[in-house]
Amino acid sequence: MKPWLVDVSVLRRCVSGCLVAGVLALSGCATGPHANPKDPIEPFNRGVQQFNDSVDEAFLKPVATFYRDVTPDLVRTGVNNVFSNLRDLWSSVNAALQLRPREATENFLRFSVNTFWGIGGLLDIASEMQIERTTLDFGQTLGRWGVPSGPYLVLPFMGPSTVRDALGMGVESSGDLLSGMNHVPTRNSLYALRIVEARANLLRAGALLDQAALDKYSFTRDAYLQRRESQIRALTGKDDNEDDDE
Amino acid sequence: MSRGNPGRVPGSDLGLNKWAMCPERFAMQRRVFTRLVSVVFGATALGVVHAADEAPDAMVKRISTEVLDAVKADAAIQAGDVGRITALVDSKIMPNVNFGRMTASAVGRFWRQATPEQQKRLQDEFKTLLVRTYSGALGEVKDQTLSFKPLRAKPEDTEVVVRSEVRGRGEPIQLDYRLEKTAGGWKIYDLNVLGVWLVETYRSQFAQEINTKGLDGLIASLAQRNKSSGKS
């Protein structure tokens, strides 16, 4: 456990040092009197979100809508299952890193069952067998061991994140099973399919957000930060029962 | 209200003053009378206000089941008919929600500066906004089931969190409620979807709007949002 902790503190220094400095250099640190302390680079983030929205509006959303409309439900479920199955393996690794043997075992069991009995993950037999899925990512693992989230960060193409979660994503993409594929066109097609599938799953959420938010940017930010905080609070075993009502 | 403690009824002291000349007898009679009153009153209270005795998680379970059944049985609601949904919300959900507290707490420190007229409009527009937001999601209600986690609360608690999960296709959706105990039973005053508390999220949305445009500006923005998405 000791070497891991040392690693984390090094990571932490690296995160707050390099990344923040880099991002700050890209944007003016302009903040109004009512700025959110968790979002010191709001003008920059708003710019990126605007960019993401226009990419989404012009390209990703139409493609995802088309994909949703023409693909039979059965096929979509299969595609979803295959990607979720890969996810389960990674969740299992994260559970192990978080010293949560039950979730590590369950997720690994899910992956094995679905890979071998579910034809490479096409069928979700594990869910039929009621083996629970706990999705965990590397950003949560970092949070579990005390790495602070750092400033809110909107990533180009990827959307809402924080400095810590962006770092987690970087580590994850190198551990991604797809990245190990040798045949590049196949690999890239699978990347694209994964993105389109993920976006198609969010079509309804997007419509909901358009209605719910007065300012889509700050709504997304606040919801994202709150959700991540509550996930990590659950991991560290701290109760979120406290009432922050006025 | 005396309902909370039926054993002590104010009238039991006043009505028996004529026995004052015989203290021992008075004491005995008074005990009998008090007990009688408490039994009668207790029995009545049990029948009339059984809602006040309902455990908070049982209440949330009952309402959710009723609402889910109503949604499943009504094609117009599933298609997102805002009128029908509002009627359902008003009849089943609102009686169990302290919506005044929800709005006040979302508006935060500005609430006290608002006139009663502004407060009423804020409540109305906020309610419409939420109804419209969730009405889009009701078409998704099919074979989902609700599972409730054991309530972690002491019997004397007046504020509790009821935790549940919506299970269906994909990952379970976390759905928690904050409830407060009132004379009329437990009332919901906040909702958590996927780890995000509704009131807290809207508090910063509203503050942002009020800081730049004032209270009337916020009301106007809400009204505008509710009008512009009138297509359904």
Confidence of residue B38 (pLDDT cuts 50, 70, 90): low
Q: Say what the pLDDT of residue A117 is.
A: 94
Encoding tokens for residue B140? 């998704």
Q: Say what the pLDDT of residue A168 is.
A: 93
B211 CA to chain A: closest CA distance, Å? 8
User: Higher-confidence residue: B148 or B41?
Assistant: B148
For A224, nearest residue in chain B (alpha carbons): B196
Helix/strand/coil for A153: strand
Average of pLDDT values for B187-214?
94
Helix/strand/coil for B86: helix
> Is the pLDDT score of A18 beyond 70?
no
Whether ipTM tops 0.85, in short, is: no
Predicted confidence (pLDDT) per residue in A20-71, tens digit:
444 444 444 444 556 789 999 999 999 999 999 999 999 999 999 999 999 9
> Is the pLDDT score of B187 beyond 70?
yes
Cβ-based contacts of B231 with chain A (< 8 Å): none
Least confident of A152-166, A231-245, B128-142: A231-245
A contact test, residue of B196, B221, B232 with most A CBs within 10 A: B196
Q: Say what the pLDDT of residue B1 is.
A: 41
Confidence of residue B23 (pLDDT cuts 50, 70, 90): low
**Contact yes or no for B225/B129 (Cβ under 8 A):** yes
DSSP state of A151: S
Encoding tokens for residue B174? 């976390």
Q: Say what the pLDDT of residue A234 is.
A: 87
Please report the residues numbered 91 through 150 in chain A whose beta carbons come closer than 8 angstroms to any beta carbon of chain B. 133, 135
Least confident of A234-238, B22-26, B69-73, B194-198: B22-26
Cβ of B161 and A215 within 8 Å? no
Average of pLDDT values for A7-32?
45
**Average predicted confidence (pLDDT) for chain B:** 81
Q: Say what the pLDDT of residue A30 is.
A: 44
Confidence of residue A208 (pLDDT cuts 50, 70, 90): confident
Least confident of B16-30, B61-75, B101-115, B132-146: B16-30
Cβ-based contacts of A231 with chain B (< 8 Å): 195
Q: Determine contact: A207 vs chain B, CB below 8 A.
A: yes
> Is the pLDDT score of B21 beyond 60?
no
> What is the SS3 string spanning A176-229?
CCHHHCCCHHHHHHHHHHHHHHHHHHCHHHHHHHHHHCCCHHHHHHHHHHHHHH
Q: Determine contact: B185 vs chain A, CB below 8 A.
A: no
Q: Say what the pLDDT of residue A238 is.
A: 62
Cβ of B201 and A204 within 8 Å? no
Q: Is A195 exposed, middle or buried (0-12, 13-18, 19+ CB in 10 A)?
A: middle
Confidence of residue B42 (pLDDT cuts 50, 70, 90): low
Q: Say what the pLDDT of residue B155 is.
A: 85
Q: Say what the pLDDT of residue B210 is.
A: 95
> Is the pLDDT score of A224 beyond 60?
yes
Q: Say what the pLDDT of residue A162 is.
A: 96
Least confident of A100-109, A153-162, A199-208: A199-208
Q: Is A64 exposed, middle or buried (0-12, 13-18, 19+ CB in 10 A)?
A: buried
**Contact yes or no for B148/B57 (Cβ under 8 A):** yes
DSSP state of A46: H
Most confident of A114-118, B15-19, B50-54: A114-118
For A230, nearest residue in chain B (alpha carbons): B195
Confidence of residue A4 (pLDDT cuts 50, 70, 90): very low
Q: Say what the pLDDT of residue B19 is.
A: 45
Q: Determine contact: A218 vs chain B, CB below 8 A.
A: yes
What are the residues facing B177 on neighbouring strands?
B162, B191
Cβ of B159 and A246 within 8 Å? no
> Is the pLDDT score of A7 beyond 80?
no
**Average predicted confidence (pLDDT) for chain A:** 83
Average of pLDDT values for B54-81?
90
Confidence of residue A147 (pLDDT cuts 50, 70, 90): very high
User: Higher-confidence residue: B169 or A181?
Assistant: A181
Q: Determine contact: B125 vs chain A, CB below 8 A.
A: no
Of residues A173, A88, A72, the one with CA closest to residue A127? A88
Cβ of A214 and B196 within 8 Å? no
> Is the pLDDT score of A84 beyond 60?
yes
Q: Say what the pLDDT of residue B25 is.
A: 57
CA pair distance A191, A179, nearest whole angstrom: 9
Cβ of A135 and B161 within 8 Å? no
User: Higher-confidence residue: B230 or B208?
Assistant: B208
Q: Say what the pLDDT of residue A240 is.
A: 46
Query: H-helix or E-strand containing B83?
Result: helix B82-88
Q: What is the pTM of this model?
A: 0.76
Q: Say what the pLDDT of residue A201 is.
A: 82
> Is the pLDDT score of A5 beyond 60?
no
Q: Say what the pLDDT of residue A210 is.
A: 85
DSSP state of B187: E
A contact test, residue of B158, B178, B180, B205 with most A CBs within 10 A: B205
Cβ of A222 and B229 within 8 Å? no
Confidence of residue B24 (pLDDT cuts 50, 70, 90): low
